Amino acid sequence: MTSSTPPPGTPAANAGPLAGIRILDMATVIAAPFSATLCADLGAEVVKLELPDGSDSLRTLAPVKDGNALYWKVTNRGKRGITLDVRKPEGRELFLRLLPQFDVLVENFRTGTMDRWGLDLATLHAVNPRLTVLRLTGFGQTGPYAQRPGFARIFEAMSGFAHLTGEADGSPQHMNYPLGDVVAGLFGAFSIASAMAERGRRPDLPGREIDLSATEAMLRLLEPLAVEFEQLGEVRQRAGTRATYTAPSNMYKTSDKVWVTVVGSSESIFRRICEAMGRPELLDDPRFTTNPDRLRHLDALDGIIASWCAAQSFESLAAALSRHEVPFSKVYGIDDVLADPHFQAREAIIRLPDPDLGSVPAPCVVPRFSGSPSPVPRSGPGVGEHNGEVFAALGLDGAELQRLKDARVI
């Protein structure tokens, strides 16, 4: 830790494996703030820093209800909130006074932006030599694209992910959710935890700079594509909802219009699918003997399974697949998630206390650690909600805070 005791007004640290770690999150929108939120879920104390005008675009990104930024409330959960304009001289001075209280700084500005504000790495480490700085950008701190702006759909397109999404004879597709942002956020949280684990072993080490490219994070997920291209000369293509590496594995529609995903990626499961369909003769069909055989005759196999699914209701289909222990699921909407008894039993959706709406639903803390009950964080903070208590730790009184507010420094 950079300080042995938390400043006055700091709430007791949450239980969790990251308890005692203090993070200053000055990032915007989704990806990098999600990194800090995941750490807060696991016990880190996180202070969210934003501009005094509350102009972070996550505050206006849908969904919004009656002026309440619902996205902000869940994505910045478990954090205290302050405002500070670090671009102004007084704001920069306050920022540097704050830094010694923190172990980690999270930022996502375009490469070189912090330097232009007089907050280059040398300056940050001059006031806190052990500070870990997570820099999450679209393309990293080096390379010809380092100055480019980045958004989730750009990461998805340039990594090759969008190329795999969509029907075989249609256009590439994006999903209706910024997947590239949350994937980068996962890597960011992993990076922070890794840096803190290293520091636990080597407390003498100076602070780290973590250069996280969101596009590289997406690319990292697509592990076999490069070797597939080099060794086989194949560029993997879109295949709709099919998998082209194992069969059967696809989505099928029932007679009552329910979409179901069915996975048979081993010989034993394929056998059970045939038994569930009442088609044991397929096991002796040379087209379907092995997974490579099934992939070569994918159209025929998918046609057989699709016809079987289309001839019965979801209830009867689910009964047959369950009886034969075939992996399957209805394709859930969020309404199905909320109604599912398994998710209810595990409290997979929790309610965050919220000053405006009473409480709001959000996913639970993941994963669960034995011996450490999962906390229930409150929703994301209001603009400058905790200015008083955080800046009071620097010795600023009410009159000084009001002066800084009037000057739009905080």
DSSP string, 137-192: ESS-SSSTTTTS---HHHHHHHHTTGGGSS-TTS-----SS-HHHHHHHHHHHHHH
Closest CA to 404 of 96, 82, 109: 82
Is the four-CA dihedral 79, 82, 83, 88 of positive or negative sign? negative
Position 374 scores a pLDDT of 80
Give 203's contacts (C-beta < 8 A, 6+ positions apart): none
Give 34's contacts (C-beta < 8 A, 6+ positions apart): 75, 181, 182, 184, 185, 186, 188, 189
Give 281's contacts (C-beta < 8 A, 6+ positions apart): none
Position 248 scores a pLDDT of 96
Q: How many angstroms from the chain centroid is the CA of residue 188?
A: 9
More confident residue, 164 or 375: 164
Asked if pLDDT for residue 179 goes beyond 80, the answer is yes
Asked if pLDDT for residue 172 goes beyond 90, the answer is yes
Q: Is 181 a catalytic residue?
A: yes
Asked if pLDDT for residue 393 goes beyond 50, the answer is yes
Catalytic residue among 181, 211, 285, 336: 181
Buried b / exposed e across 8-42, counting CB within 10 Å, b at 16+?
eebeeebebbbeebbbbbbbbbbbbbbbbbbbbbb
Asked if pLDDT for residue 381 goes beyond 80, the answer is yes
pTM above 0.85, yes or no: yes
Q: What is the mean pLDDT of residues 143-152?
A: 95
Q: What is the mean pLDDT of residues 363-392?
A: 94
Asked if pLDDT for residue 181 goes beyond 90, the answer is yes
pLDDT digits (tens, 9 = 90+) for 24-59: 999 999 999 999 999 999 999 999 999 999 999 999
Give the domains, in start order, of the chain with CATH numbers. 22-221+348-406 (3.40.50.10540), 249-330 (3.30.1540.10)
Closest CA to 381 of 356, 348, 345, 408: 356
